[in-house]
Structure 1
């Protein structure tokens, strides 16, 4: 029986005024609110799963007195998650006098709109890019990376990339400029409705207390997977607990031996922290998902969700990451915690060892060690915006030509993300040479019994596992031109 759904008020800022909707269910998406309640039909529904970008809108959030912009997919974003924020849709960019914003004008001048269905989403991604560039030029590589979450079915990417580079050179009509100080002031004045069905506590203690009092509530941290459950599986949630407003969990903290990433830190910011420590992860971070997904989703949510094809877990396992689980102890009136190695979090397919009143609050990632050689490989049908068939991450150090430390994380080959313990044992202490690698590749292929599905066959996955270990060996010997990272699309044109 479907539980009764209790709507509650939703308030956000749009077009220079406060928007308040009185009866918004906790599981209603932002796209539904925009199109059906506010008649913002410029925002399109394409795939309904955050894959195509037609539904892209831009959110503005006041952080330390400044406005931060994020392009996000409205189709899988729960509406109440934008409480107290500013929202821009494609209808909001034109001035009152009908003048186009540079993001729109550049598309016109560069002939970037073809059939037109994807155009509003591209406009909003360009708008977010424009606002975040702060007047600095946008190079083509950055434009391609930031637009990777928007798909054009007419294959018109060249003029779209041209528009991204050209819009900064166009004049900004006064009526199209964002009064950032005014928006921040307006956001600070927005009322905070009573939280009943959609809970979004602003402190860690209140979040854990809410979890203790409402263990049946659906936990969200960006909604990039829960939004799919709503759209594709037609799941309903009478109560939702959103972790992303807890101030303590919105930080990345750096310590001498590790960095701690809060569960409310977006994937984009979390990937940035990992890349700053290990620059070789940049391409993997961009391939993890398109920017709108990385802007909404969180690393904590990806890890807690525990999908066997989630890309972050193999990497984090290879890095030796651990997770901090927290709960509210009502008897002692305080927060208590425990720490687990990441691989010990999972009990089975999409199940974990967390108690009903526990939340995953922090991910601790060891700092880069001396002599570390690290690679992570994502194998998917599309280079961008696709889920892995296989993900393999390997971290190794050598001592005297022998494998001193080795850790291997794998995804897409078992019911959970896993450590390749048997293969690690086959490598540890062995001479790092072609014979050792050949034997370890055979061990890696035999260690898991993957399934066949729409992404790949079991035999393909097993073959690829061994091949990726051999690629790792070749790269450790200095060979570079064996992966897509070293390929220039311009050179191939």
Structure 2
């Protein structure tokens, strides 16, 4: 393998694209996919509406081969750097329709959307089409419609007609041209993955193995770590900053795996939030409840577990969940690995124990069926919104129905995710009675000193936090 390769290779529909990305080229490694597409007059369907992944007007679909199957992932191209495409297939709205015998023929998804008058001004329609195309190709059901469209805004059409179209699309029994050439695409993507080399430009490195990533991190500890860059990309698109040199872990195979063992789950740091949602929510409803409203499907398709944990955000949706489940963070450098609890890992606001030559490699979540888990996210919008506050609770009862162990974890109540220690201490050993939970709810309002910001007042947050504990009590038949 060459030491440096400043070219990425990917399929643009059927066409193999070999794109040079460095300071001497037309495009850099932090050029977004949307910027690149709109530099070509043949690919103007994807629009920029918000430049932060919130409106869905720029939605495209990335296709990956996984275990001899094609996975279609709707993503927002406005906050996706070009190297993310390395070894994958990119589909845009222009690839869905085709010309047959001189006649213009729409894809069935487009036909159905038009049938239900699912477009008025049309600005956001290409993004909606691509989200529905992903929904159709992944053979999702009516229950998945809200998840599939949660990242697409439409200010003029009205969602009812779009939803009606989505219901019919979910029932389509039609073999499109992508299905007809599926075997060929699988072969192409397998060959592409086999042949690709690690991308290495003047200020952006994307290794293919954990060993290589750890070596690079030791040699260049100043590198900024990213996974899907759904957060970091905003520094460029919204704040117009020149980003520091980047180490992109999105193509490291060992970090993209989820493995279930007898007594624990092992989650790679580059596992996406959507991958996590699909794999784990059948076992743990509290994960489903939180991950169903984590960003949008487009964001979950690129945002990574390691990125959410490593950000050490006080309102990171995953962090209270992991605290309630007593998860361990596995931190590695070139020579060794060490486990840490989240209480040890997060030191202060946006500050962790991660050393310059280290990275998060995986998260270990114990499996213990004796625990009762519960979670809730409070936000102004149901989906695609930042938490006002969130909570994840865990209780283990003794044989005589007393509280033998309890974890009350909150996000949004302090500079870091925190335990409600006074309430935990008070409830430990108590019977499951409303009076005890009422007293512990009052303790929560006394323990925390949250801030007032655009999402809530400090008084409002304190009341919400106490009410979530009350809701927890009334949600279970202990």
TM-score after normalising by structure 2:
0.92
Contact kept in structure 1, 2:325 and 2:365, CA below 8 Å: yes
Residue 483 of structure 1 is matched in structure 2 by none
Contact kept in structure 2, 1:411 and 1:417, CA below 8 Å: yes
Residue 454 of structure 1 is matched in structure 2 by 454
Shift of 1:221: 0.8
Query: Deviations along 1:165-194, whole A, 9 cap, x unmatched?
Result: 212555758656551222233334446365
Residue 333 of structure 1 is matched in structure 2 by none
In the aligned structure 1, how far is the partner of 2:30 from the partner of 2:418?
Answer: 32
In the aligned structure 2, how far is the partner of 1:10 from the partner of 1:310?
Answer: 32
Shift of 1:401: 3.0
Q: 1:171 to 1:440 in 2, by over 3 A?
A: closer
Contact kept in structure 1, 2:422 and 2:440, CA below 8 Å: no
Residue 342 of structure 2 is matched in structure 1 by 342
What does residue range 434-449 of structure 1 map to in structure 2 within 5 Å? 434-449=434-449
Shift of 1:295: 0.7
Residue 487 of structure 1 is matched in structure 2 by none
Residue 314 of structure 1 is matched in structure 2 by 320
- For residue 36 of structure 1, the aligned residue among 14, 22, 39 is 39
Once structures 1 and 2 are overlaid, which stretch shifts more, 461-470 or 175-184? 175-184
Contact kept in structure 1, 2:118 and 2:157, CA below 8 Å: no
In the aligned structure 2, how far is the partner of 1:428 from the partner of 1:257?
Answer: 25
Question: Is residue 396 of structure 1 aligned with residue 395 of structure 2?
Answer: yes
Structure 1: 5+ residue stretches without partners:
1-5, 330-335, 479-493
Residue 14 of structure 2 is matched in structure 1 by 16
Residue 28 of structure 2 is matched in structure 1 by 25
- For residue 57 of structure 1, the aligned residue among 56, 60, 64 is 60
Shift of 1:445: 1.5
Residue 187 of structure 2 is matched in structure 1 by 185
Contact kept in structure 2, 1:26 and 1:240, CA below 8 Å: no
Runs (4 or more) in structure 1 with deviation over 6 Å come to: none
Residue 86 of structure 1 is matched in structure 2 by 89
Contact kept in structure 2, 1:379 and 1:390, CA below 8 Å: yes
What does residue range 420-439 of structure 1 map to in structure 2 within 5 Å? 420-439=420-439
Contact kept in structure 2, 1:27 and 1:236, CA below 8 Å: no
Question: Is residue 124 of structure 1 aligned with residue 130 of structure 2?
Answer: yes
Query: Deviations along 1:412-449, whole A, 9 cap, x unmatched?
Result: 11111122222211211122212211111111122221
What does residue range 380-419 of structure 1 map to in structure 2 within 5 Å? 380-399=379-398, 400-419=400-419
Q: 1:381 to 1:155 in 2, by over 3 A?
A: farther
Residue 152 of structure 1 is matched in structure 2 by 154
Residue 67 of structure 1 is matched in structure 2 by 70
In the aligned structure 1, how far is the partner of 2:425 from the partner of 2:456?
Answer: 27
Q: 1:200 to 1:406 in 2, by over 3 A?
A: same
What secondary structure, in the 3-state scheme, does the structure 2 residue paired with 1:288 have?
coil
Once structures 1 and 2 are overlaid, which stretch shifts more, 288-297 or 275-284? 275-284
Query: Deviations along 1:128-158, whole A, 9 cap, x unmatched?
Result: 111111xxxx543211222112122236211
Shift of 1:471: 0.7
TM-score after normalising by structure 1:
0.89
Question: Is residue 374 of structure 1 aligned with residue 373 of structure 2?
Answer: yes
Q: 1:224 to 1:361 in 2, by over 3 A?
A: same
Shift of 1:284: 2.5
In the aligned structure 1, how far is the partner of 2:397 from the partner of 2:349?
Answer: 34
What does residue range 240-389 of structure 1 map to in structure 2 within 5 Å? 240-329=246-335, 336-370=336-370, 372-389=371-388
Structure 2: 5+ residue stretches without partners:
none
Shift of 1:67: 2.0
Q: 1:325 to 1:173 in 2, by over 3 A?
A: closer
Contact kept in structure 1, 2:141 and 2:170, CA below 8 Å: no
In the aligned structure 1, how far is the partner of 2:175 from the partner of 2:347?
Answer: 56
Shift of 1:237: 2.3
- How many residue pairs were aligned? 462
Superposition RMSD in Å: 2.0
Q: 1:158 to 1:470 in 2, by over 3 A?
A: same
Contact kept in structure 1, 2:142 and 2:170, CA below 8 Å: no
